Amino acid sequence: MTELRNPEAEATRGRLRRRYRAERRFRAYGAAAIGVALLALAGLLTSVVLGALPAFWQHEVRLPVHFDRALLDPDGRGAAALPDANYAAVLKQALRERFPEYAGRSEQRQLSALLSMQAPFDVRERLLAEPAKLGRSEELRLLLSDEADLFLKSQDGEGAGAGLSEVQQSVLEAWLAEGRIELVFAWRFLRSGDSREPELAGVWGAVVGSFLTLAITLALSFPVGAAAALYLEEFAAKGRLTDWIEININNLAAVPSIVFGLLGLALFLNLFGLPRSAPLVGGMVLALMTLPTVIIAGRAAIRSVPPSIREAALGVGASPLQVALQHVLPLALPGLLTGTILGMARALGETAPLLMIGMVAFIVDVPRSVSDPATVLPVQIFLWADAPERAFMAKTSAAILVLLGFLVSMNLLAILLRNRFERRW
Amino acid sequence: MTALPLATLLVLGAGAFWLGRRRALRLVQAGPGRLHSRPVYHGHFVAIGGAGPGLVGLGLCWALAAPAPLAALASGGLACLGAGLALRRVAPGFRARPAVEGVARAVFAACSGIAILVTFGIVLSLVFETLRFFDRVPVSEFLFGLTWSPQTAIRADQVGSSGSFGAVPVFAGTLLITAIAMIVAVPIGLLSAIYLSEYAGNRARALFKPALEILAGIPTVVYGFFAALTVGPEVRRLGEALGLDVASESALAAGLVMGVMIIPFVSSLSDDVINAVPQSLREGSLGLGATPSETIRRVVLPAALPGVVGAVLLALSRAIGETMIVVMAAGLAANLTANPFEAVTTVTVQIVTLLVGDQEFDSAKTLAAFALGLVLFAMTLVLNVIALRVVRRYREQYD
């Protein structure tokens, strides 16, 4: 019986096979799409993390330094001469003593260039802390310049020491052989402000700037956003005006951020004459930008509070405002806060509008108040990514890592808040 | 600058609150009558009575650019006066609560009106500066001119400062990069959404959906860095291996990375609309013998199409307005080309380069940035409104 073939059934089976193949293919496309997206994410993150790691360590050299009276205090003024003595000369002497074979002027200059610009100041600091050391010798740890640092970091790799002369390379190798070079954690990167010298540049100034800016953003967008959400959900009569407001809010949430920067430039800087580069203005611009996010999240949170709560409160004689402020708002607060934190996280990563209001200046000092010139983390990343020195590349990745660290912790906080306090009715 | 007057007002307000509440408490303890409102509301009433005139005074002082101590004195005086008048109205029968609540509601309403104000602020500031720009450069040249070279001459004999403002190459560059981004993002985003909502199990979904959303949370400056320092050189090397001439700031590199950034915008919104398609439609199709992929292509996607279109339009508006990736990875020179291996420039790049750095605010160069901004705002506004409308109408259909 089975030998009898039904051509129609055969055709059906063939079609079915083809259809199943198409099914498998379609499914594979979907999986591949997710794979590509995740691969891109993984590529981005690994390239940042791998690029960032070197920036967290710096090379230092242990160098015996003689605090020579003849150099530091030629007039015999004692401790009074120390604050403005010539410490670069002391270092030059120390290098000359160690490497007498490099006596020429240009060779000596190359030797000095191995040390960071900061090294003389470190020596000064050391001696000011203990003026009794004057005339004696001590082994000091001194920071190496960015190029020397890069050379040492790429020792095992190819193309090392492109920026170093042969004299400098042989000096570094001599120090390495003596075990004088040490790799230490770059606290400076986390503690100091920006600098033209890559080995001295740090993110702390930008972190403080970001913090001040976000503080202004939070102070403006949270209360205003909460009030607006309460009004739209609890008080406003549904009508043309509220429709208008709603369209505006939804549209503002999708307006390119750079347009908010243009608004800030035209309004806050040109019309009101507020200071450029200040966290105050940056915070105000970012507040306008995050306000729609806060309002939308707040409205969703308020809408999820069940009407029975409102009716119960009204039933025992509370006024509408008392219902809104004393019953609805506390219950909606976790959702509102979650939305606000997510909005803040977006504001923290925002760069373009801040470029418009001049927060791209090169600023060394850590800002002390909201009207001081400052920069923020993403702008610092932008500035360093543009810097010509090779050592800034690792710094950029490291600053990105710091920024991502803040973002991750803010998002975790939001998730925690949601899981902990948000109630399902 | 304004800290001193504000602090003065804050202290005065707190004092006024305390005075008002104490007076109300005293009244109810001394007299036989009952208070209409609780003492707290009398306190709030007096505090508002003080803070209102005080803030008005502060605003006036600020508009007249008065020095901080004078402003503190003037607004403080007004606050005291207002609080004094308000304090005299505190009486058992006085309806303090409705008065306070009226003020609070007005403040809330004003807060929600800020959204409209911001939109108007954007439109006004852009239109105002753009009109000044069109005083110098004719509209037709801006919209239809084919050369963009915004360096205006400072001296008459300067070289290379033609100062022509034909924005067509800028628009074309924006379109090219956006198109590359959409070619990357739409298939990947849509297929991911389909896989996540139709095929993936609960556990895979719980893992992959947040992972895709991480892409949306990464700051754009990070994508820009990635595009400029990793993808750009790779694309260039790949192109050279294939014998192509690739610019180091090619449109392709910026577009690819922008596409990756936009994937989650397409995928999460599409995921929402696909999930909103009623289960009965799927079951009907499967019951007739269609395979899952046939169901998706013939039934689910057509039903979800308006929502998907909305998602794509929103992603498109995001791509047009994206700034940092193109600032860091695309070029500055305005080439009119459709070749993705060449460097092109975009509207946002031009806005940034025209406005960052030293600037004088009445040159055509800086004003051009506002004209570009207006075009950008108008384009994204149209896209957003259409997209929001499409998404909204679609959602209502199955609710």
Q: Which of B230, B321, B348 lies nearest to residue A47, judging by beta carbons?
A: B230
> A27 or B71: whose pLDDT is higher?
A27
Task: For residue B106, give the chain A residue with the closest CA.
Answer: A231
Residue B23 CA from chain centroid, whole number: 48
Give the closest-approach CA distance of B121 to chain A in angstroms: 7
Cross-chain Cβ contact A250/B384 below 8 Å:
yes
Q: Element (H or E) spanning B354, and its range? A: helix B347-355
Q: Which of B211, B320, B328 lies nearest to residue A38, judging by beta carbons?
A: B211
Nearest-angstrom CA–CA distance, A405 and A207: 12
B43, B29 contact by CB (below 8 A): no
Q: How confident is the model at residue A29 (pLDDT cuts 50, 70, 90)?
A: very high
Task: For residue A227, give the chain B residue with the closest CA.
Answer: B108
Give the closest-approach CA distance of A422 to chain B in angstroms: 19
Nearest-angstrom CA–CA distance, B328 and A82: 47
For the cut 90, the answer to whether the pLDDT of residue A308 exceeds it is: yes
Cross-chain Cβ contact B119/A251 below 8 Å:
yes
Closest of A377, A191, A362, A201 to residue A282, by C-alpha: A377
Distances (CA, A) of B94 to A305, A323, B32, B34: 34, 22, 15, 10
Q: How confident is the model at residue A3 (pLDDT cuts 50, 70, 90)?
A: low
- Best of A36, A259, A321, A379 to disrupt the B interface (most B CBs within 10 Å) is A259
Distances (CA, A) of A76 to A70, A73, A82: 9, 5, 11
- From chain B, the residues in CB contact with A231 under 8 A are 105, 108-109, 111-112
A193, A181 contact by CB (below 8 A): no
Which range of A149-153, A335-339, B65-69 scores highest in mean pLDDT? It is A335-339
Please write the tens of the pLDDT for every residue from A57-96: 888 888 888 888 888 887 777 777 778 888 888 888 888 8
**Percentage of chain A exceeding pLDDT 90:** 33
- From chain B, the residues in CB contact with A355 under 8 A are 327, 352, 355-356
Closest of B299, B263, B294, B274 to residue B198, by C-alpha: B274
Cross-chain Cβ contact A34/B101 below 8 Å:
no
Find the mean pLDDT for residues B7-30: 85
Task: State the amino acid at position B31 in one-letter form.
Answer: G
Q: Of A158-162, B10-14, B278-282, give the lowest mean pLDDT range.
A: A158-162
Beta-bridge mates of residue A141? A62
Using only the alpha carbons of chain A, give its radius of gyration: 32
For the cut 80, the answer to whether the pLDDT of residue B53 exceeds it is: yes
Please write the tens of the pLDDT for every residue from B80-119: 888 888 888 887 778 888 888 999 999 999 998 888 899 8
Give the closest-approach CA distance of A319 to chain B in angstroms: 9
Give the closest-approach CA distance of B235 to chain A in angstroms: 15
Find the mean pLDDT for residues B321-345: 86
Give the closest-approach CA distance of B263 to chain A in angstroms: 8
- Best of B130, B196, B221 to disrupt the A interface (most A CBs within 10 Å) is B221
Task: State the amino acid at position A251 in one-letter form.
Answer: N
Task: For residue B187, give the chain A residue with the closest CA.
Answer: A33
A69, A81 contact by CB (below 8 A): no
Nearest-angstrom CA–CA distance, A141 and A182: 9
pLDDT (0 to 100) of residue A380: 92
Q: Which of B105, B128, B327 lies nearest to residue A235, judging by beta carbons?
A: B105
Closest of B364, B113, B22, B200 to residue A27, by C-alpha: B200
Task: State the amino acid at position A363 in one-letter form.
Answer: I
For the cut 90, the answer to whether the pLDDT of residue A188 exceeds it is: no
Please write the tens of the pLDDT for every residue from A205-245: 999 999 999 999 999 999 999 999 999 998 888 888 888 88
**Paired sense of beta strands B164-165 and A181-185, if any:** unpaired
- Widest CA span of chain B, in angstroms? 99
For the four alpha carbons of B24, B26, B29 and B32, in that order, the dihedral sign comes to: negative
What pTM, to 2 d.p., does this model score?
0.88
Q: Is B133 helix (H, G, I), strand (E, B) or coil?
A: helix
Task: State the amino acid at position A396 in one-letter form.
Answer: T
Provide the edge-to-edge strand list for the sheet that holds A137-143: A137-143, A57-66, A181-185
Cross-chain Cβ contact B356/A360 below 8 Å:
yes
Nearest-angstrom CA–CA distance, B309 and B269: 10
B263, B188 contact by CB (below 8 A): yes
- Best of A255, A344, A370 to disrupt the B interface (most B CBs within 10 Å) is A255
> A1 or B6: whose pLDDT is higher?
B6
What is the rounded average pLDDT for all residues in chain A?
86
Cross-chain Cβ contact A26/B111 below 8 Å:
no
Q: Which of A22, A27, A30 lies nearest to residue B192, judging by beta carbons?
A: A30
- Best of B40, B108, B352, B354 to disrupt the A interface (most A CBs within 10 Å) is B108
pLDDT (0 to 100) of residue B399: 47
pLDDT (0 to 100) of residue A282: 92
- Best of A12, A44, A325, A360 to disrupt the B interface (most B CBs within 10 Å) is A44
Find the mean pLDDT for residues A386-402: 88
Task: For residue B259, give the chain A residue with the closest CA.
Answer: A37
Q: How many Cβ atoms are within 10 Å of A247's Cβ, its own excluded?
A: 17
Please write the tens of the pLDDT for every residue from B155-201: 555 554 557 788 888 999 999 999 999 999 999 999 999 999 999 88
What is the rounded average pLDDT for all residues in chain B?
85
Q: How many residues does chain B have?
A: 399
CB pairs under 8 A between A and B: 257
Task: For residue B224, give the chain A residue with the closest CA.
Answer: A382
Find the mean pLDDT for residues A157-176: 74
pLDDT (0 to 100) of residue A250: 86
Give the closest-approach CA distance of B156 to chain A in angstroms: 28
